[in-house]
């Protein structure tokens, strides 16, 4: 029994993660009740205690205006791409020419790579088929290369997503390492 107590005493639980998992649990069940919330807390605690994730070492800065810009631009991309995909679906004469485009990202962080890949995948008509963390390369499949504006335009779109993600969440030093201008920073 003492062995079990020692193990339990070493368990570190992130209560913010437990709360997020509880909210997700309640949303998935679509039933806001005390019992469901208690079950969500218990399951969230078990998940974080038994399956701990490694720390990502986030040292960035959340910039609310840039987050708002990121979300707004994502919404615009979502609506625009939805109309493009609808056009393809409703135009039987147009044969889409799909392609896989490789894009070299400018940062070395797994966090920004994951955010960039996820936001790019959520836009209709494109999906990240591979993301290589060792060199920051993502491969994106686009439904119609011509409708997207060609290879260079696809690369520019993905790099634009990466820049907006980094401007919203990265530290000034990370922005400089990625080659972005840092506003309101004194020149050294």
- Return all residues near 185 (Cβ < 8 A) that are at least 6 apart: 172
What is the residue-averaged pLDDT of the chain? 87
Comparison of pLDDT for 13 and 158, the residue scoring more: 158
What pLDDT sits at residue 155? 96
pTM: 0.73
DSSP 8-state code for residue 123: S
pLDDT exceeds cutoff 80 at 7:
no
Q: What is the pLDDT of residues 20-77, one digit of tens each?
A: 889 999 999 888 899 999 999 999 888 888 887 777 777 888 999 999 999 999 999 9
Residue 63: C-alpha distances to residues 71, 129, 166, 168 (Å) = 12, 30, 10, 5
What is the distance between the alpha carbons of residues 13 and 163, in angstroms, rounded to a whole number? 33
Closest CA to 161 of 187, 131, 188, 185: 131
What is the distance between the alpha carbons of residues 121 and 101, in angstroms, rounded to a whole number? 13
């Amino acid at each position: 029994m003492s062995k079990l107590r020692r193990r339990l005493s070493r368990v570190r639980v992130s209560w913010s993660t437990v709360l997020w998992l509880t909210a997700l649990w309640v949303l998935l069940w679509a039933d806001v009740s005390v019992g469901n919330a208690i079950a969500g807390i218990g399951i969230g605690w078990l998940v974080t205690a038994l399956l701990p994730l490694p720390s990502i070492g986030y040292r960035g800065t959340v910039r609310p205006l840039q987050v708002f810009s990121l979300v707004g631009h994502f919404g615009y991309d979502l609506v625009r791409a939805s109309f493009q995909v609808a056009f393809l679906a409703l135009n039987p004469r147009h044969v889409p020419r799909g392609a896989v485009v490789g894009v070299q990202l400018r940062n070395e962080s797994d966090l920004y790579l994951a955010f960039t890949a996820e936001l790019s995948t959520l836009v209709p008509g494109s999906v990240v088929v591979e993301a290589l963390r060792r060199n920051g390369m993502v491969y994106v499949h686009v439904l119609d290369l011509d409708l997207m504006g060609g290879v260079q335009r696809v690369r520019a779109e993905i790099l634009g997503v990466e820049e907006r993600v980094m401007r919203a969440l990265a530290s000034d030093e990370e922005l400089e390492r990625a080659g972005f201008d840092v506003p309101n920073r004194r020149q050294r």
